[in-house]
């Protein structure tokens, strides 16, 4: 048995934009394939080239896709009976990027696709992301870190755009 401590660096920004506008901007920037069909297509691929084609068809302009979304605020709102708080967790990524990290650090599969959190607080809408580089730093793979840094740059750019 091994237990390792992983220190995580969180990117977070607050914006004055309405919650719905931030969520809409995020969804507009990433691909939203029908995940059942997407997984059918990737499993049916007879070659890596076909697999790449299936992945590419599901990506948005950012080179990312939405794997799942969770309305975390719905449970809170159900308890209180109020319209707030609103909080959404989005699993976003690209299987080809994940592959490159997992090739060098198998544990990277625990962290991809990544989570983007959009939530309303009394001081505004917050957009947060735990940086992949920080998850992989302790593994010491320069190759995986290079991929993680590129992913982090892509995600943080996306979040800045959504918050503008």
Q: In this structure, is the dihedral angle defined by the CA atoms of residues 153, 112, 134 and 25, taken in order, positive or negative?
A: positive
How far is C-alpha 125 from the chain's CA centre?
18
User: Which pairing describes strands 87-93 and 65-71: parallel, antiparallel, or unpaired?
Assistant: antiparallel
pLDDT (0 to 100) of residue 5: 86
pTM: 0.90
pLDDT (0 to 100) of residue 76: 81
Nearest to 6 by CA among 158, 150, 148, 157: 148
pLDDT (0 to 100) of residue 75: 84
Beta strands in the chain (DSSP E): 10-15, 65-71, 87-93, 114-121, 124-130
pLDDT (0 to 100) of residue 14: 95
What CA–CA distances, in Å, run from 60 to 38, 64, 125? 14, 6, 24
pLDDT (0 to 100) of residue 67: 96
What CA–CA distances, in Å, run from 85 to 77, 110, 118? 7, 29, 11
The single residue listed with the structure tokens 């950012």 is 62
Domains of the chain: 10-163 (3.30.310.70)
Q: In this structure, is the dihedral angle defined by the CA atoms of residues 89, 164, 19 and 125, taken in order, positive or negative?
A: positive
pLDDT (0 to 100) of residue 80: 76
Give, in degrees to the nearest 5, the angle at Cα 116 between 25 and 54: 75
pLDDT tens digit sequence for 12-24: 999 989 999 999 9
pLDDT (0 to 100) of residue 85: 81
pLDDT (0 to 100) of residue 78: 79
User: Tens digit of pLDDT per residue, the chain (164 long)?
Assistant: 988 888 899 999 999 899 999 999 999 999 999 999 999 999 999 999 999 999 999 999 999 999 999 998 888 877 777 777 889 999 999 999 999 999 999 999 999 999 999 999 889 999 999 999 999 999 999 999 999 999 999 999 999 999 98
pLDDT (0 to 100) of residue 95: 95
């Amino acid at each position: 048995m091994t237990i390792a401590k992983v220190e995580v660096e969180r990117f977070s920004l607050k914006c004055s934009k309405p919650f719905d506008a931030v969520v809409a901007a995020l969804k507009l920037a990433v691909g939203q394939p029908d995940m059942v069909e997407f997984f059918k297509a990737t499993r049916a691929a007879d070659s890596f080239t076909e697999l790449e084609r299936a992945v590419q068809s599901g990506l948005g302009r950012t080179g990312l896709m939405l794997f799942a979304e969770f309305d975390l605020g719905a449970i809170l709102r159900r308890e209180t009976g109020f319209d707030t708080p609103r909080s959404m967790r989005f699993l976003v990524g690209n299987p080809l990027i994940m592959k490159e990290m997992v090739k060098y650090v198998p544990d990277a599969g625990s962290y991809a696709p990544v989570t983007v959190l959009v939530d309303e607080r009394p001081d505004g809408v917050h957009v947060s992301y735990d940086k992949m580089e920080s998850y992989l730093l302790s593994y010491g793979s320069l190759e995986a870190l290079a991929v993680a840094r590129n992913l982090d740059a892509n995600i943080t750019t996306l979040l800045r755009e959504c918050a503008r």
